[in-house]
Chain A
Amino acid sequence: MTDQTQPRPQSPSIATRFLNSRYANFEFMAGAILTGTLVVLVALSGVIFPDGGSKIDLLARLTGPFQASGHPLGTDALGRDILERIVHGGRVSLLVGVLSALGAVVIGTIIGLFAGYYRGFLDTFIMRFADIQLALPFILLAITVIAIVGPGTDRIIVLMIISQWVQYARLVRGSVLSLREREFVQAARSYGLHNVKIIFSHILPNAMGPLIILLTLNVANNILLESSLTFLGLGADPQTPSWGGMLSEGRSYIQTAWWVTVFPGVAIMLTVLGLNLLGDWLRDELDPLGQTR
Chain B
Amino acid sequence: MPVFRFILQRVLQAILVTLAVTLFVSFAIRLTGDPAIMLTADSSNVTEEDLAFIRETLGLNKPFFVQYLDFLKSLLSGDLGESFFRGSVRDLIAIAMPSTLLLAISSLGISILISIPLGIHSALHKGGLSDQVIRVLSLVGLSFPNFWLGIMFVLLLSITFPIFPASGFETWSALILPATTIGIILTATNVRLVRTQMLETLSAQYVMVARAKGLNERSVVYKHALRNAAIAIVTFLGLQFGNLIGGLVVVELVFNWPGMGTLSIEAIAQRDYPLLQATVSILAIMIVGVNLAVDLIYGLIDPRIRVA
Contact = CB atoms under 8 A, between A and B. Distances in A.
Interface of A: 128, 131-132, 134-140, 143-148, 220, 224, 227-228, 231-232, 244, 247, 251, 254-255, 258, 261-262, 265, 268-270, 272-273, 276-277, 280, 290, 293
A134 B242 contact: yes
Given A254-B154, A254-B159, A228 B147 contact: yes
Contacts of B25: 144
Contact of B250 (A136, A232, A262, A270): A232
A227 B13 CA distance: 34
Contact of B151 (A135, A146, A254, A293): A254
Interface of B: 13, 16-18, 20-21, 24-25, 28-29, 31-32, 139-140, 142-148, 151-152, 154-155, 159, 196, 239, 242-243, 245-247, 249-250, 253-254, 264-265, 267-268, 271, 273, 276, 280, 283-284, 287-288, 291
Nearest to A217: B142
A261 B151 contact: yes
Nearest to B261: A139
Contacts of B151: 247, 251, 254, 261, 265
22 contacts: A128-B17, A135-B17, A137-B242, A144-B276, A144-B280, A147-B271, A148-B28, A148-B31, A148-B32, A224-B143, A228-B250, A247-B147, A251-B254, A254-B159, A255-B159, A261-B155, A268-B148, A269-B140, A272-B142, A272-B143, A273-B140, A276-B139
B139 A277 contact: yes
B143 A220 contact: yes
B21 A136 contact: yes
B240 to A, nearest CB: 10
Contacts of A138: 246
9 A-B pairs closest in CB distance: A137-B246, A265-B148, A273-B143, A272-B143, A139-B246, A137-B242, A147-B268, A148-B32, A135-B288
Binding site secondary structure of chain B: helix
Binding site secondary structure of chain A: helix
A208 B21 CA distance: 32
Given A131-B17, A136-B21, A255-B159, A145 B28 contact: yes
Contacts, number: 129
Given A131-B13, A137-B243, A254-B154, A276 B147 contact: no
Contacts of B29: 144, 147-148
The residue among A128, A138, A139 with the most chain B CB atoms within 10 A of its own CB is A139
A124 to B, nearest CB: 12
Given A265-B151, A265-B152, 12 more contacts: A131-B13, A135-B17, A135-B18, A135-B284, A136-B24, A139-B249, A147-B276, A148-B29, A232-B253, A247-B145, A251-B254, A273-B139
B16 to A, nearest CB: 7
A265 B267 CA distance: 27
Nearest to A148: B32
B21 A132 contact: yes
Contact of A262 (B18, B140, B152, B287): B152
A136 B284 contact: yes
A147 B31 CA distance: 10
A232 B140 CA distance: 23
A90 to B, nearest CB: 14
Given A145-B28, A228-B145, A232-B253, A258 B155 contact: yes
A262 B154 CA distance: 12
B242 A135 contact: yes
Contact of B280 (A140, A227, A232, A272): A140
Contacts of A251: 151, 254
A134 B152 contact: no
Contacts of B268: 143, 146-147
B130 to A, nearest CB: 16
Contact of B245 (A128, A137, A148, A224): A137
Contact of A140 (B154, B159, B284): B284
A276 B143 contact: yes
B166 to A, nearest CB: 9
B168 to A, nearest CB: 15
Nearest to A129: B20
The residue among B21, B29, B246 with the most chain A CB atoms within 10 A of its own CB is B246
Given A134-B291, A145-B28, A261-B151, A140 B250 contact: no
B266 to A, nearest CB: 11
Nearest to A279: B139
B286 to A, nearest CB: 9
A231 B287 contact: no
Contacts of B146: 228
Contacts of B243: 137
B287 A134 contact: yes
A227 B284 CA distance: 23
Nearest to B264: A143
B265 A143 contact: yes
B139 A280 contact: yes
A138 B144 CA distance: 17
Nearest to B269: A233
Contacts of B32: 147-148
A244 B29 CA distance: 26
Contacts of B246: 137-140
Contacts of A227: 145, 148
Given A143-B280, A144-B29, A135 B287 contact: yes
Contacts of A262: 152, 155
